[in-house]
Amino acid sequence: MKKITALLIGCPNVGKTSLLNHLAGSTFRVGNFPGVTVEKREGKAFYGDYEIHLIDLPGIYTTQFYTSEDERIAVEFLKSREYDLVINVVETPKLERDLHLTLELTKLQKPMVVALNMMDEAKNLGFMIDLLRLREIFNIPVVGTNGRTGEGKEKLLEAIIEVNERGISPQLNIHPSQLFTSEDSKNYELDSLSLVQGIAREVLRKKIATKKNLTSLFDTLFLHPYFGLLFLFLIFYFLFKFVFDLSSPLVDFLDGFINDFLGKGLGIFLAYLGAPDFLVEFLRSAVIGGVGTVLTLTPVLIFMFFFLTLLEASGYLPRVAFLMDRFTHRLGLHGHSVIPLLLGFGCNVPAIMALRVLSDPKDKLIVMAMIPFMSCSARLVIFAFFASLFFANPFLVIFSLYLLGLFLSVLTGLFLSKKVYHKDLSHFVMDLPPYRLPSLKFLLKMVWVHLKRFLVRAGTIIFVVSVVLWFLLNLPWGVKNLEDSYAGRVGKVIAPVFDPLGLSDWRVATSMIPALLAREAIISNLAVIVEEEEKEKLFSEKEKGSPEFLLVEELKKQGENLGEAGKKAFFSLINPWPSFWEEDEEISSAKQKIRKIFTPAQAVSFLVFVLINTSCLATIVTMAKEGGRKIAFLFFFYSFGLGWVLASLTYQIAKLFWS
């Protein structure tokens, strides 16, 4: 099979990633360029006898200079790496702007295809593009595409193969005397600007607009200095409400299905086969109890990633940066710094990596210290687990935790800006994309990309942590009391540190140690510990005879539970107010045991500490790479100290309301 390597290059927000998603399908993946923290998206497309390796480079406006790390990587890759052809993705409604980059790409003399993306939006705006004339001007194939629906994908693949087989390089066929007539960079820009406007007039026709387009209409509301803030609050209010209210019934279903149905059924089946007690206990505690309990929280992440991706792909998130610009000015920052902060809701690590979009070193350090207070998906898993276990209205508890994290983030940024770095005001220019309705296929694809990372963590890191903890709870062999095990001894040594927080229980202290590798491991650790505490009860029941397990009846019961969960989720969706859940009497045995470890006051203190303390080793390592080891260690101790103090205060106040 013949192979082609093609680069997707274009200005920011032209829809390259959406186009790549349609071309690459199941091979679409996200990673980093070797040796750097810049994100690279790539995949493979198979067409005819060809395997086409597609690489989506970060967006750039020009190849002549760069102002950030991602732009530097894109320009250097474009000029120095080996590849077969360039796919220049152009945002058709902004044709004149993007043709500047197209002109510069012609100087590379690499085989090239132009993909006029968002043709449907151009048509809605009254634009008519003469594709044949544009092809004549540049002497290369020009294909109309739609990144949202995938329309034009086949023609684009055919054009890629045509260009590769014939070695078609761009050759400007209009006013060549006007190209690059001066060595002076200013005159060069003016000359190319004369030329771009002329090409645009040649190929573009626009009807007279008779009504306000949808983007302008929405922006009058969403970018209003006062109503815009109200809409911002309401949008994120309903985002968190829908995430939790939709996922909560499904989490309860998975909790019963994994811990009771699968765990119980597996134990009985292994006992029937005569499996040794050691194996039964290991699978029940370490695998089902540890990893299984974390996996029950996957619906929370699915809905969170879905709605965040929807906001990003629809064009709303960039407007949040624009809307917040006047507030970030008080920190000496510009609105573009909001984007990495928003990414922190997904994961703090890529959010810190995204600081490459900021050119001022002081801006990077300030925002880097603010990002870890954004509650990542790992924290969300813990919040959802404990809030639903201890409180009647878990949504408000979770929403309050997110607001507290945001408040502490702003205070940290304000302190660094005014007292440490004495920051002057930064400015920026931002190109806002039009509003779009992304396809369901694209949304589900991106949800799967993010969810897969969580499943990999659950299948590797959390599994390993659960196994190691299980062994430490059983060593030295024959230990009768878990407090005397290796894990118990370590937990009792560090437990006094957390006594002012109301968390002096050695089981809680022990569960926090492996959270350095994955915060979600806190839940799996607690599940392993409480399951181990019940092993004597398990074996005494075994001596009496295995409990009856009727597979057909159990499956029928699980089907009924799933239907009930779906019905509850639906009614939560249509209810605009937070849902108050009645206490579920049929929660899994693992949850019941964990509930006995904490009082509500202790649970609140625990959640505040998890929110503030940056215990994620990956985040600290990334901070060290991006800002230096000194910055990373200082922040680690700062977040621990701040979390310890505020969680202690929270516990003392919470005791007034809960015993």
Q: Rounded to 5, what percent of the chain is helix, strand, coil?
A: 65, 10, 25
First CA to last CA distance, the chain: 70
For residue 240, give both structure tokens: 């968190």
**Do residues 606 and 391 touch, judged by C-beta distance below 8 A?**
no
Q: What is the spatial distance between Cα 108 and Cα 358, in angstroms, rounded to a whole number?
A: 28
Alpha-carbon distance of 485 to 488, in angstroms, equals 5
3-class secondary-structure state, position 205: strand
- Take residue 119 and report the two structure tokens written for it: 């043709």
Of 563, 530, 583, nearest to 259 (Cα)?
530
Amino acid at 536: E
φ, ψ for residue 151 (rounded to 5)? Answer: -60, 135
> Nearest to residue 261, comparing CAs of 231, 222, 292, 305?
292
Instruction: Compute CA 171 distance to the chain's CA centroid, rounded to the nearest angstrom.
Output: 41
Q: How far apart are CA 344 and CA 516, in angstroms?
A: 18
Six token digits for residue 486: 């290796």
pLDDT score of 210: 46
**Residue 654: per-residue pLDDT:** 92
Over the chain (659 residues), the average pLDDT of each successive run of 10 is 92 87 78 57 90 91 80 87 93 89 90 92 84 90 90 93 89 59 45 78 70 74 88 85 82 81 79 79 78 82 86 83 77 76 82 76 89 88 89 85 92 88 65 79 83 80 83 81 87 92 90 80 85 61 53 80 80 64 57 87 95 87 87 93 96 86
- Cross-strand bridge partners of residue 45: 52
Structure token pair of residue 627: 């800002």
Provide the pairing of β-strand 39-47 with 29-32: antiparallel
Long-range contacts of 37-41 (CB under 8 A, 24+ apart): 37/69, 37/353, 37/356, 37/622, 37/625, 37/626, 38/69, 38/70, 38/73, 38/353, 38/356, 39/70, 39/350, 39/353, 41/17
Closest CA to 111 of 77, 141, 135: 141
What pLDDT shows up at residue 190?
Answer: 47
CA distance 469 to 509: 13
pLDDT, position 184: 43
